[in-house]
Structure formats: structure tokens, C-alpha cells
Homo-oligomer: A and B are copies of this chain.
Amino acid sequence: MPSFDSLDTPAALVDLDRVERNLQRVATYAREHGLRWRPHTKTHKTAELGALQVAAGASGVTVSTVLEAEVMAAVSDDVLLAYPPVGARRLARLLALPSHVRITVALDAVEVLDGLARAARDAGRTVGVLVELDLGMRRVGLKTPDEAVALARVAASTPGVSFRGVTFYSGHLRMPQAELPAAMQAQSQTLASFVDALRGAGLPPEVVSGGSTPTLWQSHTVQGLTEIRPGLNALNDRNSTVIGANDWTECAYSVLATVVSTAVAGQVVIDAGAKALAKEEGLAPGYGVLLDRPEIVVKNLSEEHGLLDVSATTWRPRIGDRVRVVPNHVCVSVPLHPRLHVVRGVQGVATWEVTARGW
């Protein structure tokens, strides 16, 4: 395959050398600490990268949509849907996954559990259930041990499902690595109160699943954790670098763009805008930075225009020059692209369709 220089822009690039190092690093960490690694595939939505994760030692995959489950069932026989499956069509598709695939679902409500159990019975399957806990994220999940015990009890006694354990997501702990230990210790204590209550009720959780990318490297400090589900760290991005979850050299995703205008003083316009990078506020000003010049910030985005701030630099690219942009948040940039162009250095080595974009 040719160099990525021949690609039309904007184009999503994945640096395979970096991906492989990122996967090895987390696989080693999980092995050393006796944690199962179940990467969240919502970050990349591609079967090929899911397969690399499984080959690197993932014990299964995590998905957030049924389409992701359908795509990842081709590369893993152990799928956790970390999202409540509500609705007849979603349930029907979930239960239609190949029969060799072990399905587990995270949920926080008895209505969802009942619908899932009914669909599972109709399909002649048993689906694992993880009770979703809210350890401070305030998005989904049960807030008290009593609520968790009550739902676990229903799960344990309802045909069609089996209670497997608990899950939580610590998306709110998105802070510099130095500030993490205190926050995670507090969280660990909260988690212990849930686990103790479940044990006391005769429902010891076989699975205690957590572990976002920002908290990843402190996962071993969480008492009783059995499984981590980092997604973003396969590719990393500007946000994860800002908080120190990875080095800049571990950023494996960028958007290749072409300089299209230099008419307005102090700025350079590239052809990667909100429709290629996503205009999502991040942990630092702007919407991304250049991979090769991280001091150059994407100060604003229109739909197809990215505005590079060059007011504090002598660097003056010319129309037609190319740059690579690392966006604030890789997970919302990837599904804007039909495919990922996989490179080693400048050399194209593969093209991966983002098969699981959409629903």
C-alpha cells in the first residue's frame, strides 16, 4: 500500500506500532495484577482492532451498542454489553448473537432485567447480569447497597438470566494522575460496601468490573476488582494525554488534513473540521493539537474547517501542506470516518472499515 500522503483528506490514521505497544502495556499490567482485561470497543468500532485486543490477551470485549456486539461477536466469544438493552428490536438482535457467544449485560433496573430475561427465555439462552453501581459518576447505576442487593436477588432468581456480579464506570475521575489515588481510595471504600452487602446477602459477585482509561494504571488499588474495561487507551487522545494517562508518543490516532487557506493573519485553515474531529470541549482549550507540533492548537472548528492558531509560532505552512491532528476525544472522532487508514510510520499497511458505526 502507498504512503498515507496519497490519501484524500480528511482521513483517519491509526499508527499500528503504537497500537501494538498500547495493547501490550495494558495486557502486561492486567496480567501482573491478576485482573481480567475486557477492552471497551466503542473507541474503535472495528473488528480488526478488536481481534488484535483478543490476540493480545483480552478475556472478552465490552460494547455499548448491539451493532458493536454483532461486529465484535466475530472476534470474541465473550461479550459484555455495558448498556441497558431496552426495546424489543434491540433485545431480539442481542439474543440473535451466535450461540457460542457468552452474553453479559450491565443494567440498573428491574424493568430492564425482566425484559431481558423474557427475551432470553424465548431464545432459549441464559444471559449474565452485572448490576450497575453508581460510585459517583451520576449517570446510571444504583446508589445504595440495598438497591444493589434487591436487584441482584431478582437476577439470581429469574430464569433466563444469571447474576454474575457488579460493574461501575468512573468517568468522573478524569483528573491528573497525581490526584487519582485519594479519589480512588474513597471509591474503593464505597465499592467495598456494595460487595460486602452482596456477600452478606449470599450473593457474592463473581465479577467486579471497572476501570476507565484515566483510572487504568491505578486499577490494582481498587479492593476486590476483578476486571478492567479501558477503551480509549488502545488509541489515546489529547484529553488522556493532558491527565497523564499516557505519553504523547502513545497517541495512535490522528486525522490527516490539508492546509486549504492562509488568508486570515495568525491562523491556518485545514480541511478537518467538526465533521472529522468532533467539536467537543476537552480538558485544555481548543479542539485538538498537531501530532508533530503539539504546541499548535486547533482553536476553532466549523463543519469542514479547522482553524490552527499560529499566532505564537514562526511555523508557516503553505496551502497544500499536510498535518496530522490529535483530537480532544478519539471515541467521538472515529465514528465520523467510514474507515481507518492503518500505517506503520508513513507506510499504509491496511484499511479497516469502521463497521460498528451507527446502531
From A96-104, A152-160, A220-228, A276-284, the one touching the partner chain is: A276-284
B264–A87 CB distance below 8 A: no
Q: Cβ of A8: which chain B residues have Cβ within 8 Å of it?
A: 87, 89-90, 93, 359
Give the segment of A26-34, A120-128, A236-244, A301-309 that binds chain B. A301-309
Contact indicator per residue, chain A 124-152, by CB within 8 Å of chain B (1) or not (0): 00000000101000111111000000000
Tell me whether A51 is interfacial, beta carbon within 8 Å.
no
A-B contact pairs, 5 of them (CB 8 A): A8-B90, A86-B259, A108-B261, A143-B264, A280-B280
In the assembled complex, the CB of A118 is this many whole angstroms from the nearest CB of chain B, namely 13
A109/B279 in contact, CB under 8 A: no
Interface residue ranges, A against B (CB under 8 Å): 6-11, 42, 64-65, 83-84, 86-87, 89-90, 93, 108-109, 111-112, 115, 132, 134, 138-143, 171, 258-264, 267, 269, 271, 274-276, 278-281, 302-305, 307, 318-320, 331-332, 335-338, 357-359
Docked-complex contact A305 and B139, CB < 8 angstroms = yes
Chain B residues within an 8 Å CB radius of A142: 263
Known interface pairs A8-B89, A336-B336; A140-B303 also in contact (CB < 8 Å) = no
For A11, the chain B residues whose CB sits under 8 A away are 359
